[in-house]
Amino acid sequence: MAADPKDTPVTDSAGLLEASGLVKHFGPVVALRSADLRVRGGEIHALMGANGAGKSTLVKILTGALTADAGTITLGGRTRSFHTTSEARKAGLVCVYQDPSLLPDLTVLQNLKLTATPLSTFKRYLVELGLEGFDLQTMPRELARPTLSLLDLARALAIEPQLLLLDEITASLPADLTVRVFNVARQLRAEGRSVIFISHRLAEVSALCDRATVLRDGKTVGVVEPAQGGEERIVKLMLGPVADLVAAEAASPTAPATGAVAVEVRNLKAGTLNDVTFTLRFGEVLGVAALEGQGQQELFDCLAGVRRPEAGQIVVGGKARTFRHPADAIRAGMVLIPADRLQALLRQRSVRENIALPLVSRFSRWGPINPRREKRQVEKAVKRLQIDTRVQSEVRRLSGGNQQKVGIARWLVGGFKTLLCFDPTRGIDIGTKRQIYGLVKELAGNGSAVLLFTSELPEIQLACNRVIVLFGGKLVDEMPAAEADEQALLRAAHGLPAEADA
C-alpha cells in the first residue's frame, strides 16, 4: 500500500454497501426498526448513535453474526444475506471489534491458522501498523491490549477486504496507535476500498470520516458530513426530542450538597482509569457520566473492593482504606448495586431471604435470628420500594425491575450510608426507573451518599446534585446538575470542550 494516507477519497457515487429497511427483534424488544445505511466505494463512513441506538445489532447483521428479520443488504450491486461471519468474510466484509478476539492460550500463529489468514499479507500489514518483526510464537495472554487490537486489525486486513468495519477499535488505543489506524484507513480509501468507523469520539469522526449515518432508537435519523460544523448536527440527531418527563425533572435539579465528606478518591489508577480525584459527600447523589469503556467500571470495582487500584487512595471516614475483597468495602459501609441484578442476588431464594441476607449477623449477634424482627424489616422495605410480589416468591421469577428493587432493599434495611449504583436502571421500564431515581433522591435527602453511573446520559439530571465526566480514563469535567443538560454531557463525554470554550 504505497498510497499517501492524505490522498483524497475516491468518490464513487455508486453504493458499495446498501442496507435498507433492516428490522431486528429480540423477543418483544425491537433493536432495529427500519435502519438504512449506504456506503460508497472509497469512503470512510461513520456509524453514530447513543448507547442502545442499534449500532451493534446493525454491525452484527452486516457481518453475518445475526440475521435481520426484514430488509435487504446489497454488496457490490448483489443482494446478500449472510448467515455466518465466514460468509461475510468471503464476500470481502470483515469487522474488528473493541475487544480482542485472539484466543489467549494459542500462539498468534496458531490463531492465524485457525482463520486461514494469509501470512505474507498479514506480515505486510504488521509493518504498516508499526509491528515489524513481531514474533508470531507469542501467546496473546502475554500481550498488552493495544497490541492485541493491532493484531486483530492486521488479521482483518490480510484478507484484503472491500469493506472494513472498525467497531470502537480506537477506544483502547493511545494516540500514537490511533494515528496508525487512521493512516491505514485513509490508505484503504485511496485504493477505492471502504471503511465503516464506529467511535464515541466525535473529534475522531470529524478528522477521519467523509460522512456519518446516525441511528436513534433503532432507526436511521440522518446522514451528515462531519467536517465543517457537522459535529453539532450529529449531537442533535443522536439526542432527538427531549422527553417531557426528563425536561420537567431537570427544570428543578437538586441543589448541591453541603454534607460531610463520605468518600475521597485521590489520584486513583486502575486499568483505563488514570489519576482520578474527587469527593463524594453525605446527602448528595454524585453522577458519573461516561461513554462505554472510559474507566467507570474500574472506578466502581475499586470502590466496591472487586479489584485493587494500581495507584492512588480511597479515603473513607477520614481514613485511607485498602479493600482486598468486597467484604472489606461492605465493612467500611460501602455497598455496590450492579447493573446485572442477578449478579447480586440468590436466584433460587425468596425475596425475604435475599433482603435479609446482610442482616443475619446484626440480628443474631447475641443469639438466633429473630424471625419477627426480620419479617418486619423485610416487609417495610418491600412496601417502601413497592416491590410487586409476595416476599416468599423466588427472585428468579420476578421482573427485572423488581429484581433490582430487591437488590436495593437488601442494603436499605441494613442501614448502609454509601451506595455505589452502577447503571441500576439498565433494561428497566420507565415507570420503575422513576421509582428508583426517586428512591435515590430520597436516600440522599436522608443523609446517604450515592455515587450513580447510568449509561443513559439524558437520565443524569433526574437524580444527581452534581456530575463528574470521565473520558479516556480521566476526569475531564465537573458540573452542577443545573448545567448538566444532555448536550453539555454529550460534548464532555466525547472529549469536546464546553460550547462557551469551543
pLDDT in tens, 89-110: 999 999 999 888 999 999 999 9
Percent of the chain predicted with pLDDT > 90: 50
Q: Which helix (H) or strand (E) holds 33?
A: strand 29-40
Least confident piece of the model among 73-82, 311-320, 358-367, 434-443 = 358-367
Q: Is the pLDDT of residue 51 over 70?
A: no
Model confidence at 245: pLDDT above 50: no
Phi, psi of 148, rounded to the nearest 5 degrees: -60, -40
- pLDDT in the model for residue 190: 96
| Start-end of H helices in 314-413 | 326-331, 351-356, 360-363, 371-385, 400-413
CATH architecture of 15-239: 3-Layer(aba) Sandwich (3.40)
* Confidence grade of residue 227 (pLDDT, cut at 50, 70, 90): confident
Residue 336 and residue 344 in contact, taking contact as beta carbons nearer than 8 Å: yes
- Confidence class for position 393, pLDDT limits 50, 70, 90: low
First-to-final CA distance of the chain? 37
User: Is the separation of the CB atoms in 450 and 285 below 8 Å?
Assistant: yes
| In CATH, 248-493 is 1.10.286.10 | no
SS3 state of residue 426: coil
Q: pLDDT tens digits for 132-191?
A: 999 999 999 999 889 999 999 999 999 999 999 999 888 778 778 999 999 999 999 999
Of 233-247, 293-307, 428-442, which has the strongest mean pLDDT?
A: 293-307
> Same topology for domains 15-239 and 248-493, yes or no?
yes
The domain locations on the chain are: 15-239, 248-493
Q: All 3 cell numbers of residue 81?
A: 444475506
Between CA 496 and CA 489 the distance in angstroms is 10
pLDDT for 117 beyond 90: yes
Residue 432: what pLDDT?
Answer: 67
d(C-alpha 55, C-alpha 216), whole Å: 9
Confidence check: pLDDT of 131 > 60: yes
- Whole-model pTM over 0.85: no
Please give the Cα distance from 46 to 143 (Å, whole number): 29
> Within 10 Å of residue 60's Cβ, how many Cβ atoms?
18
Q: How many helices (H) and strands (E) does the chain have?
A: 17, 20
Q: Of 19-28, 77-86, 198-207, give the lowest mean pLDDT range.
A: 198-207
Amino acid occupying residue 238: M
